Amino acid sequence: MFYISASSTISHQPAFQNAGFSGVIEPLLADSVLITPDYKGYIDAGLLRRMSKILRMSVACSKDCLNQAGIDQPDAIVVGTGLGCLQDTEKFLTNSITIEGLLPPTSFIQSTHNTMAGQISLSIGNHGYNMTHTQNTLSFENALQDAMLLLMEGQQHVLVGAADEYIEFLTQVSENLAAFDGQYLTSGASFFVISNQKTDTSAAAIKDCRSVGLVDDTEAEIISFLAENELNAADIDLILYAGYSKSNFEIFLKLGIDKSKCVDYLAYSGLYPSASAFALHIAADRIQHDKSVGNILIYNALVPHHLGLTLVQPVEA
């Protein structure tokens, strides 16, 4: 059992520093915008000017998490991202085409996927374990499993999260590929402090997490996952799943899970590769503020045949 001591999200929902937000969020509309805090409260003005959207979100959420948890330094920083720092990557590629001679180095330096974890470390002066995971839509699950392993090895507090950002080019690509029909492409960042011991700020517990590529039998994987945690489908109070698919509901129906217990978290987060981190924040917030909810299963099958499963429970479970 691993305890969520703090959670912080910047997204298209009013989640940042808003306990109980899971009870008031509404499905996204076409004109929904990213809701951002005043970054000057978290990032020095000189650094802020040079930071892209994804870096601002990541650093602000991380510092907010540490403040909530009441710790100065985590033992490790682990970040998941599907597409990385797209804005800086696009800027670097544009500069390479339009500028003759030497190129400004900033956008190149900040274009790599591990820039977020590095920037968080620099901003708080942390010299511990620092890792970035990028496995497409399972990036956050892999980062979370890494954090859980670190806690099993004796670390006390791990800062773990995920972030991805939207740029206009993604719309062009999705239209050309006829992908993600009906989903709004968005940006988002969600970070957590998870601990191996319960604290006064613990909101929920992560019982288990699994990521599986090239799944042959999704139903069997879910049954196996629940069985390993001494549960069956009837014990699940809520499923947060990624995206509408007829096969999703066929699986839920076979497992005997009522449709009323199934919520598409992409309807609230919008579409970005690591949106399952947002789902974890919803789960933790819902458990903390709704005592009727016990076991929550986060079911991430955003990309067919790639499956992420995370089981969240109340602290006292």
Q: What is the phi/psi pair of residue 273, to 5°? A: -60, -35
Rounded average pLDDT per 10-residue block, the chain, 317 residues: 97 96 93 95 91 96 97 97 94 89 84 95 96 96 98 97 95 68 87 94 96 91 96 95 76 88 94 97 96 95 91 89
Whether the model clears a pTM of 0.85, i.e. scores above it, the answer is: yes
User: Quick one: DSSP state of residue 68?
Assistant: H
Q: Give the pLDDT score at 243.
A: 72
pLDDT (0 to 100) of residue 101: 82
End-to-end CA distance of the chain: 9
Residue 251: CB partners within 8 Å, gap ≥ 6? 218, 219, 222
Dihedral, CA of residue 24, residue 274, residue 146 and residue 2, to nearest 10: 10
Q: Who's near 79: CB < 8 A, 6+ residues apart? A: 58, 114, 116, 117, 120, 131, 132, 133, 143, 160, 161, 162, 163
Which domains are present in the chain?
2-195 (3.40.47.10), 204-313 (3.40.47.10)
Q: Give the C-alpha distances (Å, rounded to integers) separating 61 from 8, 11, 23, 77, 206.
A: 5, 11, 21, 13, 20
